[in-house]
Chain A
């Protein structure tokens, strides 16, 4: 079995010519963590993953896996394995030969290869399809084979580059749950790059939000959601309103806003009403021109529905206000 290992990045930097893709980031990921690197495209999350994987050289800083600096080691010598976005299965090899490929490259014998490949395929519930070529498998099945191939060498850390982006929404949710289950069962760290905050929230023990090559905030999903550090984080994870006040920026969760037709509170006009089933999303604009969004539970909204154009009062509990760093 794999020995789970801690991963540490010490002021890791990636420069492509003049541009800096990753700007001196520091990061510690304890063994057995499900970590999501989250951010908009071009934020440096993929470059970071590829540096950890050994597919991209490190311009500056150190990557430490377990006890050793792995900057100059090739991927297979690091104890990492990567699952590629498009799965990158070898089209000329059967599912089973794909899974056995890393073992064959290492020169392990045929019997050993066959046993371990079958085991890995069994783990992802694909042993029935082992003779099929990748082109004869569905997207979800290809992904399972890719996962088996990545896990067959018992890596200490599994790196996943937007693994769910090619799947349809229903499959996405199912595969997401499976990834989490595999991570729990194997006890190793998964580092998962994604641009979907929903995916990160659902999966991660540790979410790293990146922007412009830097880490904006790192923490447990719940901590980040309840206390976003910066305006960027608050906007990126969604569900937050940002209110400027006396030169400071405050954030308040959309589901903590209350609407009434009279009484005190901040006066605003309803811009739009969106029915979402569980809740109703009400877009608002205050008199001072601040755009806000209130998420109101369905039953409460329909006990006193508002329409677009109507004037309302918005109020909130001062305890729900959270101050953002400048």
Chain B
């Protein structure tokens, strides 16, 4: 009786999370996958099992090579943003985490400063993005300052509704996702290892490169996954800060959903998912994430 009971206990304990996971993650994903094979017209959606949506997602992409089709260009632009934002947040996140862990000696100051990095989260993403507009616009503070200082005579145009402003707002929103996991793995590094490296003749840079980076690898990988998945699927930042002029994989899907073309939107979503999974799979080949978890 006791045996019987204890054998099932772990399953019961795992069940609540498993059910939430199933209903809110696996099921929608399965439905999206299913719908991606359906057909649609301007006014109806029909269950079916056809590859038309995938074919039209990559319409003429192979034939027109070496010229890039719209889909490839969109993905290329999304990847470009993704790479830029990933690199900037990685450098920022690593530097800030390093500063907090190794330069700040008092634990209280460290906690206060770490909490400070989360302050941007007290307001919503959209508000944080919109608040850039009075700063970066043609008549914004930055342009006024530049003209006032006599650096330029005309307002600078590329500050807002440009790749610059999109990258800026994506970095602004995502840096904290990089800081926290890196901070977590860095603070587990035994301080005596840093001393040992110094004792062994390592310079500050050699210590960072040969000791701190390898031991922060899991944090870097987790932060990268956060940032890459968010940026690859983003359409709000790119829409708002790009002045609705810049294409992204997420934006394509959003447009198709607005037009009620669910099957092709689903197909694009599956393609995007595959692209993101490929990136993460590549990342994980370098790092064994389970060590951290």
| Contact status A88-B206, CB under 8 Å | no
Chain A 231-281 interface residues, beta-carbon cutoff 8 Å to B: none
Interface of B is mostly: helix
- Number of A positions contacting B (CB below 8 A): 24
| Contact status B193-A90, CB under 8 Å | yes
- In the assembled complex, which residues on chain A have CB atoms less than 8 Å from the CB atom of B193? 88, 90-91
Tell me how far the C-beta of A26 lies from the nearest C-beta in chain B, rounded to whole angstroms. 25
Asked if B281 is at the interface of the complex by the 8 Å CB criterion, the answer is no
| Contact status B202-A88, CB under 8 Å | no
| Contact status A106-B211, CB under 8 Å | no
Chain B 165-196 interface residues, beta-carbon cutoff 8 Å to A: 190, 192-193, 195-196
Chain A window 22-51, contacts with chain B (Cβ cutoff 8 Å), 1 for yes, 0 for no: 000000000000000000000000000000
Asked if B64 is at the interface of the complex by the 8 Å CB criterion, the answer is no
Chain B 193-211 interface residues, beta-carbon cutoff 8 Å to A: 193, 195-203, 206, 210-211
Size category of the binding interface on chain B: 10 to 19
| Contact status A75-B215, CB under 8 Å | no
Chain A window 83-96, contacts with chain B (Cβ cutoff 8 Å), 1 for yes, 0 for no: 01110111110000
| Contact status B199-A53, CB under 8 Å | yes
Contact status of A76 and B196, CB under 8 A, knowing A86-B190, A92-B214, A105-B206: no
Bound Cα distance from A86 to B191, whole angstroms: 11
Tell me how far the C-beta of B274 lies from the nearest C-beta in chain A, rounded to whole angstroms. 32
Residue with the highest number of chain B CB atoms closer than 10 Å, among A75, A85, A88: A88
Tell me how far the C-beta of A63 lies from the nearest C-beta in chain B, rounded to whole angstroms. 16
Bound Cα distance from A104 to B210, whole angstroms: 10
Tell me how far the C-beta of B173 lies from the nearest C-beta in chain A, rounded to whole angstroms. 32
Contact status of A76 and B199, CB under 8 A, knowing A90-B211, A91-B215, A105-B206: yes
| Contact status B190-A106, CB under 8 Å | no
- In the assembled complex, which residues on chain A have CB atoms less than 8 Å from the CB atom of B198? 55, 74-76
Q: Can you list 16 pairs linking A and B with CB atoms under 8 Å apart?
A: A53-B199, A54-B199, A55-B195, A55-B198, A55-B199, A74-B201, A75-B201, A76-B200, A82-B196, A84-B196, A85-B192, A86-B190, A90-B196, A90-B197, A92-B215, A101-B200
Q: 6 tightest CB-CB pairs across the interface, nearest first?
A: A76-B201, A88-B196, A102-B200, A88-B192, A105-B201, A105-B202
Taking beta carbons and an 8 Å cutoff, which residues of A are in contact with B? 53-55, 74-77, 81-82, 84-86, 88-92, 101-102, 104-106, 149, 153
Taking beta carbons and an 8 Å cutoff, which residues of B are in contact with A? 190, 192-193, 195-203, 206, 210-211, 214-215
